[in-house]
Chains A and B, each alone.
Chain A
Amino acid sequence: MTQNLYHNKTAQWMVYAVFFMCLFAVPTIVSDGFLLNQFATYGVYAMLALSISLCWGFGGILNLGQGIAFGLAAYGMAMTMQMQSQDASNPLPPFMANNSLDHLPFFWEPFWSTGFGIVLALLVPTLFYVIFGSLMFRARVSGPFIAIMTLAMLSALYTLILDMQPYTNGVNGISPPAALQIFGTEIDPYSTKAYWTVVALLLLTTVASKLLTQSKFGLIVQSLRGDPERVRFLGYDVAFYETVIYTVSGLIAAIAGCLWVMLVQYVSPAQLDVNFSITMVIWAGIGGRLSLLGAILGALMIQGGQSYLGDQFLNTWLLLLGGFFILVVRFLPRGLAGLLEKVLGMMAGRQRRGPDPIAPPRIVGAPAK
């Protein structure tokens, strides 16, 4: 019996393996530090698209506020890196002195320690997602209302950080003067070391997400996307499951936030901007939210296109992107990955029974990639 190759698990893992081997091979071809740094930031965007695919694609939770985790983690990382340039004789970052603070605010104190700082950068957004998520999901908020609530929370945090000028340097943001020092070495953002750190973590999060979607947990999450009521009557605590998948996706976005600051040595409220969070959803939507790799490729394609085609077409690029997005939403609700699924499915169908006036039932052996 021929199956749709798209649903073949071995084939899926092979495609993932090839994709990551290509990513790891990039530094052997590209030696320019600037380009490597740029590719590494694409890796960070890919990780964000992955996190959106997990909660929106698999869990059906349309999260328009993924910038919450990304931004909070980015601030945590920037504070950690900033404090690496301070010492006991000069404990105050320059912008605080400019804002006439005379001592380090208490919530900056833990960031003296690099390890503790990074743990906090990941832990704070994760806890935030646990609390905010369980409040939403216990109240059975669903569908577009989740989008509205996450969006509102994101805007609130954006304004909060913008307004706390003396502590966060407001709209200018924090730019740590030196590269990240960790485990006794410096990670120069323009080095292959930085690139490989990003790709390794992207690999780790992707494999973990893939395994998660293939587990019983993943199956239950996909079921509650279709019919939460039915899942509840089977004995599962739906709100608990939704909170867990939302938080896992937030943790991945938080890792992305840390890596992003490591690469650009800068953070500002722009990372919590509504536009940016919606862009993440567009990456996943165009690439295919039901496919982890599809979402990753969506991010790489759109951001790559923005950098290279954007220079050629200038403002017309945004028109092209908008038009492309409309086409995808209208004709390919499952994104480009869905197109591939359809094509492979048609090929499998033709092999199986030749021309057939009645459409064959679609054979599915596994959750969509």
Chain B
Amino acid sequence: MGVLEIHNLHKSFGGTHVINDFSLDVTELTLCCLVGPNGAGKTTTMDLITGRQKPSSGKIVLRNDDITGLGEHEIAQRGIGRKFQVPAVFRELSVRQNFEVSYSREVNPFRNMFRRQPAGFKAQLDEVATLTGLKDRLDVEAGVLSHGETQWLEIGMVVMQNPAILLLDEPVAGMTESEIEKTIVFLNQLKKNHTLIVVEHDMSFVREIADVVTVMHMGSFLAQGKLSEIESNPKVREVYLGEPEI
């Protein structure tokens, strides 16, 4: 039994099948990389899991709790955190305030009126700020952060939510080599006590972090396994990896 189970997911936009009978089972405390060529439906799958779009049919189960068709905030409350492809942080707020908003244990507006800093926030802030390397940047306005720092901030915000599972959509897009190395270190730290799904194109990055790799093609499940198995899979080579270089 996995943390997150996806059963026979379908999504079509006016007759075009974008996701076609896709199933996936994510095991606790693993990092699963979702790869596939452009248009394979990776981001759409993320949208369906997080409730941004409603599936045409199929079932999504989070820890034995059917979350299919719920609203975005309900799914987020049940424990799915998402980092967007284009980094989305609150640019006018300080880094600390970004983390504070993300600490969403209490979502009732009236109870939040009488609360400045919730219990447990400080410890979690310390942990996440250290993890993301933003400890010295807490009082800086998020809008002035570099691209890499913004990506880390958003991943940190998702961790602050303390979700059962983290979905990261292209976390290293646009990063420099040294930034990517830093991200690899902290993602490997993160998977010690979190379950993650990462959508990524960069195969050298996938090699460094993935426990399991799932390949999608034309909206369907193509293959799943360890990276070495995937790389030698003839079907995957044909549609995605191409002929081996050496």
Contact = CB atoms under 8 A, between A and B. Distances in A.
B162 to A, nearest CB: 10
Interface string A95-134: 0000000000000000000000000000000000000000
A223 B92 CA distance: 8
Contact of A226 (B73, B93, B109, B139): B93
Interface string A202-236: 00000000001011110110110111011111111
B233 to A, nearest CB: 34
Given A215-B114, A216-B118, A363-B139, A231 B101 contact: yes
Interface residues of B, number: 38
Given A226-B92, A227-B90, A361-B140, A214 B116 contact: yes
Contacts of B118: 216
Contacts of B76: 232-235
Interface string B138-163: 01110010000000000001000100
A212 B110 CA distance: 10
A53 to B, nearest CB: 16
Interface string B51-87: 0000000000000000000011100110001101000
A17 B165 CA distance: 48
Interface residues of A, number: 31
A255 interface: no
A300 to B, nearest CB: 27
Nearest to A363: B139
* Interface of A (DSSP majority class): helix
B109 A363 contact: no
B109 A217 contact: yes
A235 B73 contact: yes
A219 B97 contact: yes
Nearest to A216: B112
A368 to B, nearest CB: 8
Nearest to B95: A364
Interface in B160-178: 161
Interface of B: 50, 71-73, 76-77, 81-82, 84, 88-94, 97, 100-102, 104, 106-107, 109-110, 112-118, 139-141, 144, 157, 161
12 contacts: A216-B118, A217-B113, A222-B93, A226-B90, A227-B90, A230-B90, A233-B72, A234-B102, A234-B161, A238-B73, A244-B109, A365-B94
Interface of A: 212, 214-217, 219-220, 222-223, 225-227, 229-238, 240-241, 244, 361-365, 367
